[in-house]
Amino acid sequence: MTNTLDRRTLLRMAGASAGTAVLAGATLAAGGPAHAADGAFRHGVASGDPLPDGVLLWTRLTPTAEAQPGSGLGPEVDVTWQVAADPDFTTVLAAGTQHTGPDRDHTVKVAVSGLAPATTYWYRLGHADGWSPAGRTMTAPPVDAEIDRLRLGVVSCANWEAGFFAAYRHLAERGDLNLVVHLGDYLYEYGSGEFDAGGTVVRAVQPSHEVLTLADYRIRHALYKTDPDLQSLHAALPWVITWDDHEVANDQWSGGAENHTPGTEGAFVDRLAAARQAYLEWMPVRTGVDGAIYRRLRFGRLAELSMLDLRTYRSQQASGTAVDDPGRTITGDAQMSWLKAGLASSNARWKLVGNPVMIARVDVGALPAWLLGPLGTLLGIPQNGAVLNADQWDGYNADRNELVDHLRATGTTDVVFLTGDIHTSWANEVTTRSTGQNNPAAAEFVVPSVTSDNVNDFLGLPAGNPLSALGAGLLRTTNPHVRWTELDGHGYGVLEVTRQRCRMDWYHLADRTRAASASRWVAGWSVGAGSAKLRKESAPLT
């Protein structure tokens, strides 16, 4: 049975006399989208960055046998697209043609406009060989609409060689989500065997070497988009995405990366340009001036989502007293000004921030050496034992203080950071010296990795082992603003936003190395409107 929730239905559900709308999910047609393992549209379809009157559509066409990803071969072609009110495309509401060719790796991006707000649509793209699988997408509500609820799937850190993307399948099957937020590390740059599942390659990457060139990055993107669960989630919902470091290279900063050696791997500027070009070709993301991807999306008066780019403009990672240097930055001056102004001026109830790396402090001086080893790998703690998280906001204290002080000075409340990167699960209250321990400025929810190694994997122990549990307890003791953390699970988060609260639920996979892995609810934490104090929930969202 197909369930279409258009704006009229949404208004009726909430009660038109009350003047409110419920932004609720709609389920896919029975059986879900077909997987495009073969044929012209073998990499599936996707949509992203929904606006009240439009959305971005994406696909990749393989028009001829030689037009393989990264080949630079194949003809120039036109691709037809359609947007319809129903999954059978009996009522086509918008249509057009988009040109593509080897210069953009035969990818297609269409910015569709003129659509109705808060409406579910179906879309497909076509060529001489036929139509792509159908996708479903949703437009955002009007900017001033009174929305009662928004539900997001939240994910980060999907490493192909470390397992299967069952987390994406579980999100695609829920039927109650409006959007997927991906916080970075959509793919990894390593060669085969360099970063896998605790020393085991579950499925090998292509190309097998570390990706460096434009062709390499295109091939790696193409590989990821053959995953059936990734295709299902892209086809089920619009995504809002940002990049972190592994879309280029580990611990990237504005002028280089830890996993880049200029002497043997060429100029970093060339690698960066290749990675960015492939990313923008293969991902459903809008860009601004000079290709900037930090941007803001609005969901009525309920929520505004600011997506950050914390790699392009940042200073090189440092240690010691350099982390307090006001001349160093994680955001860059322009992005910081944009972020502060947007948060302070927003009239949305909730100000959500898509934040690729953790902003909450992590004090680790009292933790034992056995835990500092794997945590040092995940959090970027230098081997000399310095007590900082150098790749996160901990390595850029001046920027964090500037942002938090601005929130305090402007009376900006109801700010929630949605974070990925460190492969583990956290519920944090954001504090600095100026806020004190008991007066947090914001809340932060950190989602686990989809597949990438975490603490028990580095320790070579099963999930839920006593050492990991002890480590999580020590982290909370050392950092009372860390209300909850779990160091072993892989999976995803589900964020529910209502006028009264913002709540994250964490779900962990039974076994990331199995495509059919089950998942289970492990925790829920919420923050109430007007407060940055977190509260533990006793049961899953319904």
DSSP string, 29-86: STT-PPP-SSSTTTT-EEEEEEETTEEEEEEE---STT--TTS--S--EEEEEEEESS
Helix (H, G, I), strand (E, B) or coil at 537: strand
What pTM, to 2 d.p., does this model score? Answer: 0.92
Query: Among positive and negative, which fits the CA dihedral 306, 309, 313, 319?
Result: positive
Compute CA 320 distance to the chain's CA centroid, rounded to the nearest angstrom: 30
pLDDT of the residue at 323:
85
Angle at 287 between CA 286 and CA 292, to 5 degrees: 145
The answer to whether 201 touches 161, Cβ cutoff 8 Å, is: yes
In one letter, which amino acid is 218?
A: R
Instruction: Please give the helix or strand (H or E) that residue 497 lies within, else none.
Output: strand 491-498
Sheet holding 482-486, edge to edge: 295-299, 303-307, 350-355, 415-419, 442-446, 425-430, 482-486
Q: Cβ contacts of residue 529 below 8 Å, gap of 6+?
A: 349, 350, 414, 499, 500, 501
Six-digit token pair at 264? 């043997």
pLDDT along the chain (542 residues), means of 10: 32 28 35 57 98 98 97 98 98 98 98 98 94 98 97 98 98 98 98 95 98 98 98 98 98 98 97 98 96 97 98 93 90 98 98 98 65 65 48 93 96 98 97 88 98 92 91 90 97 98 98 98 98 97 93
pLDDT of the residue at 12:
28
Helix (H, G, I), strand (E, B) or coil at 204: coil
pLDDT of the residue at 469:
92
- The 3-state secondary structure of 469-486 reads HHHHHHHHHHCCCEEEEE
Report the C-alpha gap between 481 and 432 in whole angstroms.
10
Sorted by where each starts, the structural domains of the chain and their CATH numbers stand as 1-140 (2.60.40.380), 141-537 (3.60.21.70)
pLDDT of the residue at 324:
85
The answer to whether 458 touches 377, Cβ cutoff 8 Å, is: yes
pLDDT of the residue at 301:
98
pLDDT of the residue at 1:
32
pLDDT of the residue at 79:
98
- To which residue do tokens 């001046």 refer? 398
